[in-house]
Amino acid sequence: MKFKPLEILTHIILILGVLLMVLPIWFSFATSTHDNVSIMTEGMKFFLGESFTYNYNEVLNEKGGWSEEVTAARMFVNSFIMALGIATLKVIISAMSAYALVYFRFKLAVPIFWLIFITLLVPLEVRIFPSYKIVSDLGLTNTYTGLILPLVASATATFFFRQFYKTIPDELLESAKLDGANSWRFFIDFLLPLSKTMLAAMFIFMFVYGYSQYLWPLIMTTDEKYWTVVMGMKIIFTENYEGVALPRTGERFAYIILSMLPPVLVVVILQRWFIKGLIQTEK
Amino acid sequence: MSFLELQNITKIYPNGTKAVNETSLNIENGEFVVFVGPSGCGKSTLLRMIAGLEDITNGEISLDGNVINNIDPSERDVAMVFQNYALYPHMSVFNNMAYGLKNRGISKEEINNKVNDVAKLLEIDQLLTRKPSMLSGGQRQRVAMGRAIVRNPKIFLFDEPLSNLDAKLRNQMRLEIKRLQRQMGVTSIFVTHDQTEAMTLGDRIVVINNGVVEQVGTPKEIYSKPNTKFVAEFIGSPQMNLFNCKIENGIAHIADIKINLNNSKNIEDASLGIRPDDILISDNGQHTCVANLVEYLGSDMIIYSKIGDQEFSCKLSSKINLNSGDTFKFDISYTLVHLFDNTSGSRV
């Protein structure tokens, strides 16, 4: 097989792109398998070392934080609960509100939709103090509910679901009506199965969004039991080592690698659905 | 009391368009009625009001003795076949047909039996596990029919179900629909803009124009005795010739041609209609014209000609030897003409 010059060029660009994405991760992983002394003296590593089990074991089980109450494993659980809760509720709520906006022709549907849309301009960071005030007045600080609830509304997802529902032909709804489907059944039996792809895609995006939240959990949680992975990245393995101790670079890299796993897993598991839906249109 | 009664039905859309105007109609049990008219005439709206998919602005619809104006579509016991079939894309053929039954809480076993019976009847029993996207147009059409039949409704409503099929399949499905309807004896309403479908399918035809019923009758009545100029033009192919003329004492004057109508009518502004195949062409005809164009259709041919400045066409057997530019002689018999008053548009 002969390559044309243009093809060779495009391939080189693609390969460079891949390297650009993969190398930093590989460096982090390789470095996370070395002990702190060699990292300190020799810098970042390209080849694997021998401290893999030690470092990863340390990361998962050592108690950290100021009061030494929380382990990284615990933070992973917290992050997972938070991301799962946010993603699930975001998808459910925005699918349902889009359903209301598209199929129930009430008077103010359009203004309401734009009102929801405008909230895109007001991210959590902008409204962080009012949000904190409300959550703390409700006594929800240091709870999972408090971590999840203020983040479950999503204008983006509502918008995407709305656009998708608008492409579903009216005849389908009419036919379902004649077949005796009420509004609830139409949602469950028709819209949800038809938007499987959308659901998977939205779930992926929202999971990653929830997982990577930093500011909100930082403000919300004073109890270390509720710390999340992303917060921990700043905090863990940095304290208690003043002066003479070596920075625990190996463990920190191990921690970073581990923190990437859950979102990667979610993408890998759901992408099959996602891609399948993209290829075979069911309409 | 008729099986389905429409009384003074009016539909005005929120934007003020009057789609259906004061329409009344009675349909008997087991009848096959076709609504026919040009697009936008309100025939589909009327059907959708019977189905319950559109609100009724004014008037009353009763089915089997009960007023159904405010009854939910699912409880009216009607089944509808849509133009685009509206099959449920994510469900197998079996589930497409079973869905309505499931919602009525019918037992699984009974659903199985019913669906299988109907599938056999329509010869789609091999396709029950397939998804609609894997079916051809004709098969989808059958599934859509199956979905309607399996529910055993009081009325079938067909909303231009054949318009997405190619010509050959359309003829085949048309026959099949007719056969199935005869076999099951279920009252059916069929909406179409195609007059061939209307003529071949209907026990009775309802011709609708601009939201008003122009004429109701058997295909024969509609064809042989159109009530209005609109019906005369709309039904029949090629279209009926309509000559603007002045009638004086029973004689119609079309340009320089005079036709004796054998009556003593006087109409200032009238239309004289005659079907292209009712124009009698013979060597000893009274009138002479030039064939401007001859269209050869196999067994028939169509001749386009003019009387004065009014165009007309005649249809005759292609065995006659006549070419473009030839002259021909013809007669118009008063027994075969249709007369309409141009001011009212109705038959006189």
Q: What is the pLDDT of residue B185?
A: 92
| CATH code of B272's domain | 2.40.50.140
Q: What is the pLDDT of residue B124?
A: 92
Contact B128, B119 (CB under 8 A): yes
Min Cα separation A145/chain B (Å): 35
Which of B238, B214, B256 has the alpha carbon at shortest distance from B340? Answer: B214
Give the three-state DSSP class for B348: coil
Q: What is the pLDDT of residue A61?
A: 77
Whether B165 and B264 share a structural domain = no
Mean pLDDT of chain A: 85
Whether B217 and B333 share a structural domain = no
Burial of B257 (0-12, 13-18, 19+ CB in 10 A): middle
Give the whole-angstrom CA distance, residue A91 versus residue A108: 23
- Minimum-distance CB partner of A169 among B53, B86, B104: B86
Q: Which residue, chain included where needed, has tokens 């022709």?
A: A105
Domain boundaries of chain A, sorted by first residue? 71-236
Contacts of B234 (CB under 8 A, 6+ apart): B36, B37, B38, B195, B207, B209
Interface contact B86-A181, CB threshold 8 A: no
Q: Is B346 part of a structural domain of the chain?
A: no
**Pairwise pLDDT comparison (A39 vs B259), residue with the higher score:** B259
Interface contact A177-B99, CB threshold 8 A: no
A130-134 contact pairs (CB < 8 A, 24+): A131/A216, A132/A219, A132/A220
Q: What is the pLDDT of residue A226?
A: 86
Cis check: omega of the bond before B238, within 30 degrees of 0: yes
Highest mean pLDDT, choosing among A62-76, A223-237, B2-16: B2-16
Interface contact B99-A193, CB threshold 8 A: no
Q: What is the pLDDT of residue B241?
A: 94
Q: Does residue B91 have a pLDDT over 60?
A: yes
Domain boundary (B205, B233, B261) is at B233
Give residue A283's pLDDT band: very low, low, confident or very high (50, 70, 90). very low
Interface contact B74-A172, CB threshold 8 A: no
**In chain A, positions 177-206, which contact chain B (CB-CB < 8 Å)?**
177-181, 185, 189-190, 193-194
Q: Is B244 part of a structural domain of the chain?
A: yes
Residue B60 amino acid letter? E
Instruction: Name which of A100-109, B95-104, B114-123 the model is least confident about.
Output: A100-109
* A163 lies within 8 A of chain B by CB: no
Q: Angle at Cα B13 formed by Cα B9 and Cα B16, nearest 5°?
A: 110
pLDDT in tens, A127-150: 888 889 999 999 988 899 998 988
- Minimum-distance CB partner of A174 among B86, B90, B147: B86
Contacts of B26 (CB under 8 A, 6+ apart): B2, B4, B5, B6
pLDDT (average), residues A201-225? 88
Which domain covers residue B298, as residue numbers? 239-341
Domain boundary (B183, B198, B233) is at B233
Give the whole-angstrom CA distance, residue A204 versus residue A192: 16
Q: Angle at Cα A222 formed by Cα A220 and Cα A224, nearest 5°?
A: 115
* A105 lies within 8 A of chain B by CB: no
Q: What is the pLDDT of residue B272?
A: 92
Min Cα separation B13/chain A (Å): 15
Mean pLDDT of chain B: 91
Domain boundary (B233, B248, B277) is at B233
Query: Which CA distances in Å does A71 have to A64, A268, B52, B56, B73?
Result: 6, 26, 62, 67, 60
Rounded-to-5 percentages of helix, strand, coil across chain B: 30, 35, 35
Give the whole-angstrom CA distance, residue A190 versus residue B273: 53
Give residue A201's pLDDT band: very low, low, confident or very high (50, 70, 90). confident
- Minimum-distance CB partner of A180 among B51, B86, B104: B104
Residue A254 amino acid letter? A
Min Cα separation B216/chain A (Å): 28
CA A207 from chain centre, in angstroms, equals 3
Whether B138 and B279 share a structural domain = no
Radius of gyration of chain B (CA): 24
Interface contact B89-A194, CB threshold 8 A: yes
Give the three-state DSSP class for B2: coil
CA B30 from chain centre, in angstroms, equals 18
Q: What is the pLDDT of residue A91?
A: 94
**What ipTM, to 2 d.p.?**
0.83
Q: Is B133 part of a structural domain of the chain?
A: yes
Q: Does residue B231 have a pLDDT over 80?
A: yes
Q: Which chain A residues are Cβ-neighbours of B52 within 8 angstroms?
A: 177-178
pLDDT (average), residues A191-202? 88
Min Cα separation A271/chain B (Å): 20
| Phi, psi (degrees; rounded to nearest 5) at A232 | -60, -30
Give residue A280's pLDDT band: very low, low, confident or very high (50, 70, 90). low
Give me the total of CB pairs closer than 8 Å, taking one residue from chain A and one from chain B: 60
Q: Which chain A residues are Cβ-neighbours of B104 within 8 angstroms?
A: 180
Q: Is B347 part of a structural domain of the chain?
A: no
Radius of gyration of chain A (CA): 24
Interface contact A280-B133, CB threshold 8 A: yes
Q: Which two tokens stand for residue B310?
A: 């009014």
Min Cα separation A40/chain B (Å): 58
Give me the residues paired with residue B33 across strands. B189, B204
Among chain B, residues having any CB pair with chain A shorter than 8 Å are 51-53, 73-75, 78-80, 82-84, 86, 88-90, 99-100, 103-104, 131, 133, 147, 151
Give residue B191's pLDDT band: very low, low, confident or very high (50, 70, 90). very high
Q: What is the pLDDT of residue A258?
A: 87
pLDDT in tens, B232-256: 999 988 899 999 998 988 888 888 8
Chain A nearest-CA residue for B152? A179
Whether B60 and B171 share a structural domain = yes
- Minimum-distance CB partner of B78 among A178, A193, A283: A178
Give the whole-angstrom CA distance, residue B215 versus residue B208: 7
Give the whole-angstrom CA distance, residue B84 versus residue B161: 7
| Residue among A175, A280, A282 with most chain B CBs within 10 A, to mutate | A175
Give residue B68's pLDDT band: very low, low, confident or very high (50, 70, 90). very high
Min Cα separation A28/chain B (Å): 45
Whether B222 and B282 share a structural domain = no
Q: Which chain B residues are Cβ-neighbours of A276 within 8 angstroms?
A: none
Give the three-state DSSP class for B30: coil
Whether B134 and B96 share a structural domain = yes
Contacts of B239 (CB under 8 A, 6+ apart): B233, B276, B313
* A130 lies within 8 A of chain B by CB: no
pLDDT in tens, A30-51: 988 888 778 778 878 788 888 8
Which of B21, B19, B2, B18 has the alpha carbon at shortest distance from B10? Answer: B21
Q: Does residue A244 have a pLDDT over 50?
A: yes
CATH class of the region A71-236: mainly alpha
Interface contact A180-B103, CB threshold 8 A: yes
Task: Provide the percentage of residues in chain A whose pLDDT is more than 90.
Answer: 28
**Pairwise pLDDT comparison (A122 vs B189), residue with the higher score:** B189
Interface contact A190-B83, CB threshold 8 A: no
Whether B71 and B122 share a structural domain = yes
pLDDT in tens, B1-59: 789 999 999 999 999 889 999 999 999 999 999 999 999 899 999 999 999 999 999 99
Q: Which two tokens stand for residue B303?
A: 């001749």
Give me the residues paired with residue B238 across strands. none
Whether B162 and B282 share a structural domain = no
- Minimum-distance CB partner of A179 among B53, B74, B89: B74
| CATH code of B10's domain | 3.40.50.300
What is the domain count for chain B?
Answer: 2
Q: What is the pLDDT of residue A250?
A: 82
Q: Which chain B residues are Cβ-neighbours of A178 within 8 angstroms?
A: 51-53, 73-74, 78-80, 100
Interface contact B100-A178, CB threshold 8 A: yes
Task: Provide the percentage of residues in chain B whose pLDDT is more than 70.
Answer: 100
Chain A nearest-CA residue for B86? A172
Q: Which two tokens stand for residue B207?
A: 């011709």
Query: Which CA distances in Å does B69 have to B9, B59, B61?
Result: 11, 9, 6
| Residue among B87, B91, B92, B103 with most chain A CBs within 10 A, to mutate | B103
Q: Which two tokens stand for residue B217?
A: 């009758």
Q: Annotate B328-346 with DSSP letters as a single string.
A: EEEE--GGG-EEEETTT-B
